[in-house]
Amino acid sequence: MADTQERLLRTEYSEIMQKSYIDYAMSVIVARALPDVRDGLKPVQRRTLYDMYELGIRYDRPYRKSARIVGDTMGKYHPHGDSSIYEALVVMAQDFKKGMPLVDGHGNFGSIEGDGAAAMRYTEARLQKITQEAYLADLDKDVVDFMPNFDETEKEPVVLPVRVPNLLINGAEGIAVGMATSIPTHNLGEVIDGVIAYMKDPDINTEQMMQYIPGPDFPTGGIVTNKDELKAIYSTGVGKIKLRGKVEIEKLKGGRQQVVITEIPYTMIGANIGKFLNDIFALSENKLTTDIVDISNQSSKEGIRIVVELKKGADAENFCNLLYKKTRLEDTFGVNMLAVADGKPETMGIVPIIRHHVNFQYELATRKYTTLLAKEREKKEVQEGLIKACDVIDLIIEILRGSKTVAQAKACLIDGVTEGIKFKSAQSEKDAAMLKFTERQATAILEMRLHRLIGLEIEALRKQYAETMQNIQTYSDILENRASMAKVIIHDLKDLRKEYAVERKTVIDNVEEAVLEEKPIQVEPVAILLDRFAYARVVDMATYERNKDAAEEESKKILFCNNVDKLAIFTSNGNMHLLKVLDLPFGKFRDKGLPIDNVSKFDSSKEDVLFIEAIPNLKNQKLLFGTKSGMIKLVAGEEFDVSKRTTAATKLGDGDEVVCVGMVHESDTVVMQSEDGLFLRIDGITIPEKKKAAVGVRGIRLGAKDSLKAIYILAEGDNRSVKVKGKEVVLNRLHIGNRDTKGVKR
C-alpha cells in the first residue's frame, strides 16, 4: 500500500472567518433578502410564482390548496422551510400590503388589523390575471435564462420576464446582512407613464420623471406630507417619507363632534392599529386630554373607520394635532431603494431603477423576437415546400407508391435519388431526379394529410404563407431597428395600463407640521405606591388618605411629590435613571401598576434598584453611596437634578458595585456590615462630601477576601437589629468608632 502524504495549509484564522462571513453575507443578500432590480422579486417570490405557473394554476382555472403550492415549491426550488414560502404567498395576495397583488387568494389571508392568515391547509390560491400576462408570459420563448435547481433535477428561471417595473409598483422590504431594503409602493399607471417617458427621452432627470411619478402610492391611502423632500429621496434612493392618516370631523347632535380616521399610514398595518387605539386611550389615562368620550373601531371589509367621540365644546382640530404628535397617525416611512443589479447590491434612485427595467425589456424583446423569427422562418420553409409539393403532387404520389420504404421516398424528395423506386414513365423518373426539397420540407410532405389537397386548403396555405412572410418582415424590422422595438414595448405597456391601472389612493402634498396647543397640566400633589415587584402606580392624595392603612401595608415604598415631578432611580451598577411621574398610570387605588422598567431605561435583568426618590425631595439633602469594596461618600442631592434620562450617579472601580444609597442627616449614624460579620458604626458627619464623579473614601478596612454586605442609616432612637449566625445584633448599641478602621466582630 503506497504511503499517503498530508498537505497542511497554514493560514490566518481571521482571514478564513472574514472570507466565510463575506460569502455568507453575499449569499443572504443575493439569494434571499433583496429583490432583483429586473423583476422586483426575491428568490422565494419568484420560485413560488413560477411553481404556480408550472402547476397550471392560472387565473381562469380553479383554485388549488396553498399547501400543494408550498410543498411543490419547497420540493423543487426552495428547500428552506414551508413557513417562508407560505408567508411570501400570503403577502403577494394581500391587497393592503401590495400595490398590485400577484396572487388571488381564496380563504382567510389575514387582515389589515394584524390578523394572521389561516393555515396553508385551509387556504387556496391561483395566479392573478396580471401576473400571468405581465409576469409569466413568454417563458416558452427563451426570453430568460434557466438554471439548475438546488439538486439539479429541475430548471428554474434566473429572473421572470416581468413587463412592468414591479420593484416600484409593489415595493420591497428585506433585511440582509449589514444592509436592508425598504421601497414604497407606487401607482401602476403612473409608473408605466414614467417608463414610456424614459424610453422616449433616456436623458430624463429625476425632476422631469416626477411629473409622471409624483410620489409613492400606498394601498392604505393616507397623505404624504413632505412633497418637497421627495425629489432628494428619488434622486439618492434614500430618505424619509412623512405619512399621515386621513381624518374627517363629523358633527353629531347636541353640538358634539367626532373624529373619524378613514385612512391610515402604511406603517400602521397590522398590530399597530391595536397599538394606535391603546395610544389614544393612554392620552386620556395620562390626562393629556380630557376631551375623549368614546373610542370605537368600526372598520370592516369596506375600509378603515376608527371613531373617537369628543365631548361638547372640545377643539376637534387641536385634538387631531394631538393624535399626529402623540400617536402613529403621523409616521415616517424610511426609504432605502436597495436592490440586486448586475449581481451586486446597489442603492438607486428612481431613474436608474427605470433604466435597468427598460434595458431588461429590450433584452426580453430581443430574445422573444429572435425566437419568433426563427419559428417563422421554419414555418416559411415548410410552407414553401408544401406549396411546391401541391404543384407536383401527382409526381410525389407516384414516388410514394413506387417506394418500398419511407427513407427511400425521403431520399428521392431531398436529393433526387430514384434508385429502387418504380415509376410509371421515364419522364416521371427524370422529373423526380430534379427534386430538391429540404429535410424539413420532405418531413412535412410525408406527414401531409390528403385533405390538404382540397382547393380551399391550398388557398389557405398560400394565405398563411403570406402572413408568415409579413411576420418575418415585422420581426426582422423589430430586431434591426431599436425604434421599432421601442414602439412594440410601448404598445404593450399601454395595453397593460389600459386594463390594470387604478386611481391613485395616496395624496401628495406639503403639509405644515401639526402645532399642538397643549393645555398646561394642573399641578397637584400625589402619592406613588411601589410594591415589592417594582410595580408603581399614582393616586391623588384624597385617594391615598382614604386607603392609607392598606397602602402602607401593601406597598414596599410610598413617595409623596407633585404629578409633574421626576423620580430618580438609583441602581447597583452606579446608574441613576429618571422617570416622569406622568409616565406612570394614574387612577384608582386598586388599579394595577406598571413595572418601572417599562417606562424608564432601567433594566431589571442587569441591575437592582437600591433607592427611589422624587428629584425635588433630594434638594438640600445628602446622599450616602456605599460600595462592595468598602468605599463611601456623601453627594449633594442637587447634583442629580439633570435632564438626561440615564446618568452615572457615582464612579466605580473595576468589578465594584453599589450596595447602598440613602439620605443621611447630621445626627444620623452609619453602620457598615461586612460579609465576614465585621460591624463598624461611625457618625454620618465624619463621611466626606464628594462630587458624584468621585470614587469616595474607604469606610471600613476589609480583609483580602471580605466585602461590604450592607450599610444601615440610623436616626436617633432607631432600635434596628440584624441577625448574624443566629445572634441578634442591636445596631445602635455598637460602639461609635472611626472611619477606615476594621470594626468589631459579631
- The residues that are catalytic are 122
In degrees, rounded to 5, the angle at the alpha carbon of residue 110 between the alpha carbons of residues 189 and 503 is 20
Q: DSSP labels for 281-303? A: HHHHHTTS-S-EEEEEE--BTTB
Neighbouring C-beta atoms of residue 648, cutoff 10 Å: 13
What span, in angstroms and rounded, lies between the C-alpha atoms of 741 and 746? Answer: 15
Helix (H, G, I), strand (E, B) or coil at 728: strand
Instruction: State how far the Cα of 33 lies from the Cα of 174, in Å rounded to an integer.
Output: 5
CA distance 283 to 595: 19
Radius of gyration for the alpha carbons in the chain, expressed in angstroms and rounded: 41
Give counts: helices (H), strands (E), the chain.
20, 35
Give residue 92's identity as a one-letter amino acid code: M
CA angle 512/518/522 to nearest 5° reads 175
In 568-724, where does DSSP find H-type helix? none
Map residue 114 onto helix, strand or coil: coil
Strands 507-508 and 223-224: parallel
Tell me the three state secondary structure of residue 608.
Answer: coil
CB contact at 8 A, 678 and 745: yes
* Nearest-10 crossing angle of helices 482-500, 455-480: 100
Largest CA distance in the chain: 146
Question: How many angstroms separate the CA atoms of 31 and 144, rounded?
Answer: 18
Given a contact cutoff of 8 angstroms between Cβ atoms, the answer to whether 411 and 420 are in contact is no
Are 136 and 104 in contact by the 8 Å Cβ rule? The answer is no
Three-class SS state of 60: coil
User: What distance in Å separates the CA atoms of residue 703 and residue 699, rounded to the nearest whole number?
Assistant: 13
The angle at the Cα of 254, spanning 251 to 257, to the nearest 5 degrees, equals: 30
Q: Is 362 helix (H, G, I), strand (E, B) or coil?
A: helix
Span between the terminal Cα atoms of the chain, in Å: 80
Separation between Cα atoms, residue 515 and residue 496, nearest integer Å: 44
3-state secondary structure string, 185-236? CCCHHHHHHHHHHHHHCCCCCHHHHCCCCCCCCCCCCCEECEHHHHHHHHHH
